Amino acid sequence: MSSRPPVFFVFPSHRICELKRLELNAVTDPLTGLYNRRLFAETFEKELQSRARYGQPLGLVTLDLHRFKE
């Protein structure tokens, strides 16, 4: 029985840049360029789990800007 060498696929560099751009667009607001709620939810969940695992406190400050988009 002969073993086959592993198969590797190399992405062209322009594809990697495109994927990074798409990933950034998925987590930022197009108007402000700020991170959006999707990234917050993912990051917050990971932090909650990490803090619970290590028994560390976690603080959260929220801010609501009235008529921010205007």
Percent of the chain with pLDDT over 90: 41
Residue 13 in this model has a pLDDT that exceeds 70: yes
- Name residues whose C-beta falls within 8 Å of residue 47's C-beta, 6 or more positions apart in sequence: 58
Sign of CA dihedral 9, 10, 14, 16: positive
pLDDT category of residue 16 using cuts at 50, 70 and 90: confident
The tokens for 22 are 């798409």
DSSP bridge partners of 28: 35
DSSP bridge partners of 35: 28
